[in-house]
Structure 1
Amino acid sequence: MPAYHEIRADYDRDTIVIYQAYRAEIADAAIAAGRFVAPFSFGRMTWIKPSFLWLMERSNWGRKSGQERTLAVRITREGWNSALSQGVLTSFHPQVHGTPNAWRTTFEGAKVHVQWDPERSLNGKKLEHRSIQVGLSRHVIAEFANEWTVELRDLTQMVGKIRRLRDEGHRDRAKQLLPPERVYNVDPLTASQLAMP
């Protein structure tokens, strides 16, 4: 049984995969360049998520307007860990922040926001445990795009195939195509600040 707050991801010794959904213009330019370039916005917060099924629910399996294209973004673990270490939760947790005012002050000055949302099943059902999403502010987006990003892959066709298999009742075949995800451990200080066990 997964822990309530637990990071699960596809990763190796040096890199970790996060998922994002974009409109075609942004995805095409990024894939062509091998990194994020205009019209990707470097001036607003971007949210990165290591849970494939959470993003599928959010983008309605690539059917939501402006989220038709699913990208797998492989970034350095060094960058991911840096983001997590700077992360401030988007809601007050007494055991982490002490007082609401202390949380508010920290949150307002944060360059990285962290939110825990219900993980999703293949059919979109809310599960009991949570999935992490990490919001990168404009202060760190250039670093994410230019220094952390190692590889971009377009998963749009695979998303469509998994969705069709699921909708046609072939759940087992659909599950076999899902990206692998396993527990990703973080250092004790980061775990404490992100309300992880």
Structure 2
Amino acid sequence: MNQYEIRADFDRDTIVVYQAFNDAIATAAVGAQRFVEPFSLNRMTWIKPSYRWLMHRSNWARSAGQERILAVRITRAGWEEALGRAVLTSPERRVYGDAARWREQFEEAVVRVQWDPEYSIRNVTLDHRSIQVGLSRDIVQRYVDEWVVEIRDLTALTHKIFGHLRDGRVDRATALLPPDKRYPLAENLAKRVGAG
């Protein structure tokens, strides 16, 4: 597996990204099948195609303000538009050549990308990276109004998986994980986000 590779649950037209929210935001979003108040359009929102990474980040939906796990199915056109406008959060030489060029682009970026360590289901750091995509308030309205196709609440599933892990039933937990496979990127998008 390439160290910088997007893995996701996707089909021909859509891709699933995961987010963790508090009860108020999640309940409103699932009910409306779109993000509505109290979700804020005035701050950056981070979307992640890796369920396992979000489980590490949210401590299996047990961290404050991250008690609800949502699977947000969005259009691949929207996802790829975001990647096409992205700037990495650090001046990776393999992408930008020099820090000055990166800084110039970063100051104008409406989408930010960072690659974080991926985690196994047992919360062990793996040798490949997981992508996070930050949508600024300059583009988050597009995400909310145009890209979102479906919002599913995976909180109960998350608790079930964690229960199996806690009880030492790793095989049962693994069997319940959402699917993922390598997401194909056009060469220009792969270069833009620093994918392998």
Normalising to structure 1: TM-score of the pair?
0.98
Residue in structure 2 matched with residue 38 of structure 1 by the alignment: 37
Aligned match of 1:65:
64
- Report whether the alignment pairs 1:164 with 2:163: yes
| Partner residue, 2:120 | 121
1:89 corresponds to which residue? Answer: 88
The residue that corresponds to 1:21 in the other structure is: 20
Alpha-carbon distance in 2 for matches of 1:14, 1:195: 23
Match of 1:180 in 2: 179
Give the Å deviation of 1:95: 2.3
Structure 1 ranges of 4+ moved more than 6 A: none
RMSD over equivalenced CA pairs, Å = 0.6
Question: What is the count of residue pairs matched by the alignment?
Answer: 196
Q: Secondary structure at the match of 1:95?
A: helix
Output the CA distance in 1 between the equivalents of 2:135 and 2:35.
14
Worse-matched range after superposition: 92-101 or 175-184: 92-101
Between the aligned partners of 1:194 and 1:23, the Cα distance in structure 2 is: 29
Letter in 2 for 1:106: Q
Deviations 1:64-111 (A, max 9, x none): 000000000000000000001111100111121121111011011000
What is aligned with 2:131?
A: 132
Equivalent position of 2:107 in the other structure: 108
Identity of aligned residues (%): 54
SS in 2 for 1:81: helix
Q: Which amino acid aligns with 2:2?
A: A
Q: 1: distance between equivalents of 2:130 and 2:178?
A: 15
Q: Provide structure 1 residue ranges, at least 5 long, that are not aligned to the other structure.
A: none
SS in 2 for 1:157: helix
Task: With the length of structure 2 as denominator, give the TM-score of the two structures.
Answer: 0.99
CA distance in 2, matches of 1:180, 1:164: 19
